[in-house]
Amino acid sequence: MPSAGTADLVIVANRLPVDRVTLADGSPGWRTSPGGLVTAIEPVLRANDGVWVGWPGGTEQDLQPFEFDGLSLVPMTMSAEEVKDFYEGFSNGTLWPLYHDVVAKPEFHREWWDAYVGVNQRFAEKAAELASEGATVWVHDYQLQLVPQILRSLRPDLRIGFYLHIPFPPAELFQQLPWRRQILEGLLGADLVGFQMNGGAQNFVRLVRQRVGHKTHRDLVYLPDGRTVKAAAFPISIDAKGFEELARSERVEKRAETIRDALGSPRKVFLGVDRLDYTKGIYARLRAFSELIIDGHFDVEDAVFVQVATPSREQVEQYRILRDEIDRLVGHINGDLGRIGRPAISYLHSSYPREEMAALYRAADIMVVTPYRDGMNLVAKEYVATRYEDDGALVLSEFAGAADELRQAWLVNPYDINGMKSALLEAYAADERERGRRMKAMRKTVLQHDVAAWADAFLLELAAARGAHGKTVRPAKRS
Ligand code: ADP
Ligand code: G6P
């Protein structure tokens, strides 16, 4: 057993909350990493003393642990080959599409798998080195599903939790994976395996019974060594109060007004905010909006669409194809329907600070979130959190985890373009009372069930897990 470190809580995730970037003057700097995982975990680490192990992007090899904005970060290096085979390959060319309803075709390559095993081994070794005797290690997401098992073999004294931020697929899809048994066994190294939805937890337990042959009862798996592993749903959330406070600030209100002015003060602003990912349904949503203009329901003086699409995983072919397709579509729509100084779609590739995100949400009358499949979708919750006057409207895909909680949104099937058009139009035309009624109910849900409540629930369950050893970590404090 390696000697213990000093951290009572170790967060292990593929991404660090900041990415290594080159600043305008050529010097190295840091930028917030995109995505829901970072948004959710950052406040949890802030509330607990601990360290975060992860990759800062790139292939730089000379990286040392550092403090950033009060967080202790331990960077993991990645070689160019690992970036290609582990990150772009097995994580984002195999697992991501497989776990998202095969919206794109997953590829299976043995050398990608080998790289996945190697990187998981290194992350587990680093966590084993940093964790104190009996510490809690919380491993995150699909890139690191083998870490719990490797870590347990290195450090049986630890309390190990795993949380999957993306959907866990139904058995029919998961079974395609040539390494399905290894992944299930990897996850079973944890004391508690958390999922976004009940369905994911149930899929996992059923697969463990069928494929690994362990005894199970409801949400528990009984291992031959006497350990018990629990699988349960913990729907993730955001720092709702923090977002609301930001939205109420004068700076954000002013900025929201400036944004609307810059858009030409249309009667209604539609907004989409996504990583540029094929699961997000950006193409179909923009088509639906443009058809409403073509059909004469409104014109560009009445309504504009702001689509923020942060470039993501740009070396993966499917992502490049998507980017080209959307670029072309936006060009067509604006060429055909825009007027001078009035594009129908304002299309933005930038990454923004939280304050600017809040201003965009405040500037938007209708938020459009239409993924084909999404573990949760935090953007939907962020929008709701900023609408403190109970105004605004949310059009939300039935296939986002958030739809389970945000029942009062205008729910749509993103594969049904006509249905989506109707919902966009209804949200556009809804009167103040209708919008208020829906938003009020959704705000109650989001404010009550915030990220601190999510982390409390997971960490308390982990502390109580029957198979768990080790010390208990304080649940996250509420902001
Ligand atoms: P995913 O995790 O698949 O990217 P989510 O909607 O769950 O999707 O989370 C996205 C997170 O990234 C949100 O917190 C959102 O505010 C943030 N985000 C998305 N686009 C941008 C952007 N352009 N600039 C800054 N933050 C962004
Ligand atoms: C989603 C995943 C995260 C991932 C993020 C950004 O939120 O669940 O694990 O970090 O997308 O993707 P990237 O590939 O840039 O890390």
pLDDT tens digits along 217-265: 999 999 999 999 999 999 999 999 999 999 999 999 999 999 999 999 9
Do 172 and 306 fall into the same domain? no
Give the span between the Cα atoms of 208 and 206, in whole angstroms.
5
Would you give the distance in Å from CA 202 to the centre of its chain?
21
- The predicted structure's pLDDT at residue 440: 98
351 within ligand 1 shell (Cβ under 6 A): yes
CA of 313 to the centre of ligand 2 (A): 9
CA of 165 to the centre of ligand 2 (A): 9
> Structural domain tally of the chain?
2
Q: What is the CATH number of the domain that holds 327?
A: 3.40.50.2000
Residue 92 inside a domain? The answer is yes
Do 214 and 275 fall into the same domain? no
Do 105 and 249 fall into the same domain? no
310 within ligand 1 shell (Cβ under 6 A): yes
pLDDT tens digits along 126-170: 999 999 999 999 999 999 999 999 999 999 999 999 999 999 999
Report which protein residue has its CA nearest ligand 1's atom 21: 351
Of 311, 78, 92, 40, the residue nearest 196 (C-alpha): 40
Do 276 and 227 fall into the same domain? no
| Residue 166 CA, closest ligand 2 atom number | 8
Residue 106 inside a domain? The answer is yes
CA of 89 to the centre of ligand 2 (A): 14
- The predicted structure's pLDDT at residue 434: 98
pTM comes to 0.96
pLDDT tens digits along 7-21: 999 999 999 999 988
- Mutation to probe ligand 1, out of 141, 276, 379, 396 (largest number of atoms < 8 A from CB): 379
Do 227 and 331 fall into the same domain? no
Residue 358 inside a domain? The answer is yes
Do 185 and 265 fall into the same domain? no
Provide the 3-class DSSP secondary structure of residue 297.
coil
Do 208 and 333 fall into the same domain? no
The secondary structure element, H or E, covering residue 138 is strand 131-140
The pLDDT of residue 478 is above 60: no
Report which protein residue has its CA nearest ligand 2's atom 14: 313
378 within ligand 1 shell (Cβ under 6 A): yes
Residue 474 inside a domain? The answer is no
CA of 345 to the centre of ligand 2 (A): 26
Residue type present at position 46: R
| Residue 376 CA, closest ligand 1 atom number | 7
Domain coverage including residue 142: 7-236+452-463
- Mutation to probe ligand 1, out of 39, 100, 346 (largest number of atoms < 8 A from CB): 39
Identify the band that residue 371 occupies on the pLDDT scale cut at 50, 70 and 90: very high
Of 379, 399, 380, 335, the residue nearest 169 (C-alpha): 399
376 within ligand 1 shell (Cβ under 6 A): yes
Give the span between the Cα atoms of 190 and 314, in whole angstroms.
32
Write out the two tokens for 270.
Answer: 């539609």
Residue 188 inside a domain? The answer is yes
Residue 310 inside a domain? The answer is yes
Of 445, 294, 308, the residue nearest 367 (C-alpha): 308
Given a contact cutoff of 8 angstroms between Cβ atoms, the answer to whether 390 and 440 are in contact is yes
- Pocket residues for ligand 2 (CB within 6 Å)? 14-15, 34-37, 141, 165-166, 312-313
Provide the 3-class DSSP secondary structure of residue 268.
strand
pLDDT tens digits along 208-224: 999 999 999 999 999 99
The pLDDT of residue 479 is above 80: no
Of 450, 378, 383, 443, the residue nearest 38 (C-alpha): 378
- The predicted structure's pLDDT at residue 471: 58
CA of 310 to the centre of ligand 1 (A): 8
Give the span between the Cα atoms of 251 and 103, in whole angstroms.
40
Residue 468 inside a domain? The answer is no
- The predicted structure's pLDDT at residue 469: 55
Do 280 and 225 fall into the same domain? no
